Amino acid sequence: MKTTVHIISHSHWDREWYQSFEKHRMKLIELVDNILEKAENDPEFGGFFLDGQTIALDDYLEVRPEKREQVEKCVREGKIQTGPWYILQDEFLTSGEACVRNLQVGMQEAARYGAIGNVGYFPDAFGNAGQMPQVLKQAGMDAVVFGRGVKPIGPNNEVTGGQYESTYSEMMWASPDGTKLPGILFANWYNNGVEVPVDEAEAKVYWDKKLADARRFAATHQLLMMNGCDHQPLQKDITEAIRVARKLYPDIEFIHSDFKTYVKAMEKEISENFSTVKGELTSQETDGRWTLANTASSWMGLKVDNRAGETALERKAEPAAAMAEVLGKAYPEDQMIYSWKKLMQNHPHDSICGCSVDEVNEEMKTRFAKSRQVADAIYDESVEYLTDQVNTAALPGNSEKIPFVVWNTSGTAKKQVIAKELHLFRDYNLFVWDGYEAAEAVEMPNLVLRDANGNAVPAKIENAGISFGYDLPDDRFRQPYMAKKVLVTFEAEVPAMGYATYYLEQAEPDQNQETSADFANERVLENENLKVTVNEDGSYQILNKETGRTYENLGFYEDTGDMGNEYIYIQDSGKQTITTKGMKAEIHCVEKNAFRTVVEICHEMMVPSGMGEELQRQREMCIDPYTRVANRSKELVPMEVKTVLTLEKSGKGLHVATTICNQAKDHRVRVVMPTGLNTSTHLADSAFEVVKRNNRHNDTWTNPCGCERQQCFAAMEDETNGLLVANRGLYEYEVLADEENAIAVTLLRSVAEMGDWGYFPTPKAQQIGTFTLEFEVVPYAAGKTGEAFAEGYAFQQDLTAAQTGLSKAWLRKPGQVKPELVSGEMPLEMSFLRFEGEGIHLTAFKKGLEKNDLFVRFVNNMPQDEVLSFRKESWMKEVYRSNVVEEKGEVLCTDENGVYHVTLREFEIATFGVVK
């Protein structure tokens, strides 16, 4: 069979990296200008692959809007190939839902430009998440192309059967659910056809080597040559270079190709000899260095911001706006996409990984803030609208009430302590007379908190003072006011995807809700599930009352030197480690009442101020971090670490907030949880998957760092017990197999340079300042893995509350206003979606993209089939199977009780469309 060489012109376009976004954009404009000119003037020009992401065209047209018609013509004719992504994301540091939005927006924009790319493209992702074949196949992709995570062996070498090995550069890649997609590995990288010579003598030398390199790993007669590299300019004489190659090798067909043509030809030769790799691709059979896991801890503040931004959209704004639409409010589709785009503009691998110059990372802060501001506004407006639909007039009793509604937009029913400021009184005449004094004159009544059935609820009710506020009516000028406020703190109980109503009312003079607590043993936190005892050194032990298992010496801190960079952690040559083990801590119980106990622990760690001076010369010389020799400075500086432990009345886990005041450079801070569990594997949350990983790496692993990446949690369990550590934006962890199978979670990492291909100083990556990091420690019994997962996901967001009877205050004439009851049509408590299924996690509740239906997505995180059951709610007219791009499939039927039952195979991602 004749060999065909597919030459694909491209430029891997990192939107921002070693230069700022705008500086890179100036080069992008030159690139696209040249592509358009070449496409117009050279009929032999086969086209240009614009890196699989549509945002490059958006960035270009923002500066050259007059070129849109020409760009769209080139896309329609195949001279520019774009999509299916909006941006090229990192797969481990962005959520599964962010991946789907990225795909949806990219495909939508590519279609508007004229044509959608047919391959999932991951040229430089730092490893690949295991569920990508399932996601991409649901989206209709023909293949997936990637650059890292698999070790190519070559047909003349023995395949050892490793999960991450492939005989050829072409293979099948299977998700954990069994979905397969043809995979193409850049075994010779994505620049293996760069800068093709036109001179015949040079071309002969060039092609002899390039063809041999490609054939070494090729499984078919279709050889892929990528004519480009990072920010590569267009090779303007590429058509002439191809003519020269054809002349030199008449028995080989050289074509200026594209991925659609290449994949179609390659698939004709797919055979049973192709290797199948399964699950995540993280280079486990290699030396472990090139999937760059330590990017998970660079610029930790940005990682925390990212998790908060994803949570604000997919766990709050989207479900709240969807619920509000069910009740008649218009869905803010354009605003939602705007917020998602701003967030996703921080998701390219070099951006979210924190491996760029300081200018890039500083600009990311602004994008995170913009996205979050929009998401929060959507959530607040949706919840206000929803709250006004609740029939608080149906609350029991006849006395004056101050009603409010607590909202839970997660897929898990929650009991959680919340604190909510409520308005007792508003004065809208503050510019006519002193509204502050009028509010101040209102007496603070003795109040009691009750649930919707009139039952008293233990609460702490405090005078919250007076503050300025304002309404922004839809049809009149802003309405400022002064408000008299009360702060109520209590444990709320709210169903999944729903709400519960509570109210304050005047109590009898001798009625006191808050139960006094005994502060005698200020180092013990206890509820019906757990008993936590704080040790002298600030570590703690947790007794799981269900199993009787005690986990000891949890939560000590470890500080080590780091002579690496934003990509790579390398401990100092002396391996100096400082911990809080045995270090006396200041311990105080700061709150103990009927619904929670809070203990504060303070350490002052003395740590080296940085690395020794010898490291700077090695940085400037671009010495490989793995070969550097340097020790930590002898100068010490204080690092204050404050730990706040909170155990709530019904809590199944211990909430921990660690605040680090960092003055040191070139170091890493971790919290360590010795599990003491007897197992060789552990579990980690990833994109649409809880993946099982070995506690120890393979023998081929030579990376001195064994860190891995997580999303919401990491967990370990043996035959009787388990321990899960959930987090909010702490993406890096390591299992210390030789230290009681401890789970070590990185809290902060400080470095001074970007790394990679040169010396790029990044002084702000030292992360000098104060950071608060949050996590939760959850003991559980073996056999309750699914429940533990649910707790880890539920930790990602808090309950919120909205007061009723005030949002319509602007309808009255300005004056003194008290809260009112509302005669809405919604009951006092409700769930918009009730479902059951062991280990099944709800990931999305949203309106469709340019569709009127709502879409609900679940993933089965268990390694076996599980049954998903959910009730047909009153607002559901029809439910059908769908996919990640929201196409309509089979219509479902309920049982005689109005319940849908659907079997989800292991690790299946299942989307359902709902006609309202």
Write out the catalytic residue numbers.
124
Alpha helices by DSSP H, listed for 665-818, are 785-794
Q: Strand, helix or coil at 436? A: helix
* Amino acid sitting at position 597: T
Spatial CA neighbour of 484 closest among 817, 801, 820, 821: 817
Instruction: Report in angstroms the alpha-carbon separations of 618 from 40, 437, 628, 629, 753.
Output: 49, 66, 7, 9, 12
Provide the b/e sequence for 863-902 (b: ≥16 CB within 10 Å).
eeebebebbbbeebeebbebbbbbeeeeebeeeeeeebeb
Nearby residues of 387 by Cβ (< 8 Å), 6 or more positions away: 404, 405, 407, 499, 802, 803, 804, 807
Strand partners, 904: 866
Separation CA 90–CA 567 (nearest Å): 13
Angle at 228 between CA 26 and CA 756, to 5 degrees: 75
Spatial CA neighbour of 321 closest among 192, 261, 407: 407
Q: Strand, helix or coil at 141? A: coil
Tokens of 107: 């495909």
CA 242 to chain centre: 43
Separation CA 44–CA 51 (nearest Å): 21
Separation CA 286–CA 847 (nearest Å): 43
* Amino acid sitting at position 261: T
Tell which phi-psi region holds residue 202, choosing left (phi > 0), alpha (psi between -120 and 50) or beta.
alpha
Separation CA 731–CA 300 (nearest Å): 9
Instruction: Report in angstroms the alpha-carbon separations of 127 from 177, 704, 727.
Output: 19, 18, 22
**Beta strand pairing call for 577-579 and 556-561:** antiparallel
Q: Strand, helix or coil at 601? A: strand
Alpha helices by DSSP H, listed for 388-484, are 435-440
Separation CA 446–CA 462 (nearest Å): 10
Nearby residues of 735 by Cβ (< 8 Å), 6 or more positions away: 682, 693, 695, 706, 708, 714, 716, 741, 742, 743, 744
Q: With contact defined as beta carbons under 8 Å apart, do 631 and 618 qualify?
A: no
Separation CA 560–CA 556 (nearest Å): 13
Element (H, E) at 716: strand 713-717
Q: With contact defined as beta carbons under 8 Å apart, do 847 and 331 qualify?
A: yes
Separation CA 354–CA 352 (nearest Å): 5
Residue carrying structure tokens 């698939």 = 267
* Residue 544, CA atoms < 13 Å, CB-side half-sphere: 18
Find the farthest-apart pair of alpha carbons in the chain and give their distance in angstroms, rounded.
100
Separation CA 796–CA 598 (nearest Å): 20
Q: With contact defined as beta carbons under 8 Å apart, do 684 and 710 qualify?
A: yes
Asked whether the CA dihedral 451, 457, 459, 462 is positive or negative, the reply is positive
Spatial CA neighbour of 352 closest among 27, 54, 15, 772: 15
